[in-house]
């Protein structure tokens, strides 16, 4: 019995060590990506402090929740950045998904598609389910009635959220409406027929 307990304890310790190593590896990978990102931003004259500086460590802490793919996305969009470059600005670039790069229409085309789609919406041949879901979240009534200046920012926010979910591997499906039956046949009893005829004669005065 003591031997079995010893084996179980050893196994648990090994699992714990493996998990810890896996977490450390993932963390190290992200830190390496952050270092490469920082050096690239240095080369582009967007940041000026060295690796290990207070500014670099501040950025490292401010970007630790982002994936390596998001960091690469931010770098890609930083090359032609104009304006004041800062940590919040870079975070925004990292999370600003290039919809066309992942097979989705850009946000403006998606907005126009959502506004013009006929009813029933679920039956429309959407360019991507993300457009449909962004329309649902925004509200079909609002999309058809509100001015673009008022409703477009709302649609843009929801569309970005669904694009991000697609990037993370989530599969979005449009609901399928069940076809209505062509017709329903209801047979009335003789008593019900007589009652309806009496009501019809009374209503028409015949």
pLDDT at residue 103, as a whole number: 79
Q: Rounded to whole angstroms, how far apart are CA atoms 108 and 86? A: 27
Q: Rounded to whole angstroms, how far apart are CA atoms 19 and 182? A: 59
- At 1-25, the pLDDT tens digits run 554 445 335 444 543 444 444 455 6
pLDDT band at 199 (very low <50, low <70, confident <90, very high): low
**What would you report as the CA-atom Rg of the chain, rounded to the nearest whole angstrom?**
30
Residues 162 and 102: beta-carbon distance below 8 Å: no
CA 157 from chain centre, in angstroms, equals 10
Count, in order, helices (H) and strands (E) of the chain.
9, 0
Flag whether pLDDT at 184 surpasses 90.
no
Residues 168 and 148: beta-carbon distance below 8 Å: no
pLDDT band at 196 (very low <50, low <70, confident <90, very high): low
33 vs 188, higher pLDDT: 33
SS3 assignment, position 139: coil
- At 60-106, the pLDDT tens digits run 999 988 888 788 888 988 988 888 999 999 998 887 777 777 778 99
170 vs 57, higher pLDDT: 57
Strands (E), 95-173: none
- At 128-174, the pLDDT tens digits run 999 999 999 999 999 999 999 999 999 999 998 898 888 777 888 86
**Annotated domain spans of the chain:** 2-96, 100-167
CA 58 from chain centre, in angstroms, equals 28
pLDDT band at 56 (very low <50, low <70, confident <90, very high): very high
pLDDT at residue 104, as a whole number: 86
Q: How many residues comprise the chain? A: 206
pLDDT at residue 195, as a whole number: 65
- At 112-133, the pLDDT tens digits run 999 999 999 989 999 999 999 9
High-pLDDT (> 90) share of the chain, %: 42
Q: Rounded to whole angstroms, how far apart are CA atoms 123 and 109? A: 19
pLDDT at residue 176, as a whole number: 57
pLDDT at residue 146, as a whole number: 95
Spatial neighbors of 158 by CB under 8 A, at least 6 apart, are 133, 134, 137, 138
């Amino acid at each position: 019995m003591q031997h079995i307990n010893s084996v179980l304890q050893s196994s648990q310790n090994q699992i714990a060590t493996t998990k810890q190593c896996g977490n450390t590896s993932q963390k190290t990978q992200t830190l390496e990506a952050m270092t490469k990102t920082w050096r690239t931003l240095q080369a582009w004259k967007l940041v000026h402090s060295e690796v290990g500086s207070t500014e670099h460590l501040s950025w490292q802490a401010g970007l630790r929740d982002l994936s390596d793919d998001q960091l690469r996305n931010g770098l890609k969009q930083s090359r032609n950045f104009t304006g004041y470059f800062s940590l919040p600005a870079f975070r925004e670039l990292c999370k600003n998904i290039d919809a066309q790069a992942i097979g989705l229409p850009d946000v403006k085309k998606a907005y126009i598609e959502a506004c013009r789609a006929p009813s029933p919406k679920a039956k429309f041949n959407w360019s991507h389910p993300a457009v449909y879901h962004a329309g649902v979240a925004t509200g079909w009534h609002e999309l058809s009635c509100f001015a673009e200046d008022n409703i477009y920012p709302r649609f843009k926010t929801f569309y970005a959220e669904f694009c991000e979910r697609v990037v993370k591997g989530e599969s979005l499906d449009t609901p399928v409406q069940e076809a209505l039956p062509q017709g329903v046949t209801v047979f009335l009893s003789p008593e019900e027929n007589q009652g309806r005829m009496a009501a019809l004669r009374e209503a028409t005065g015949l």
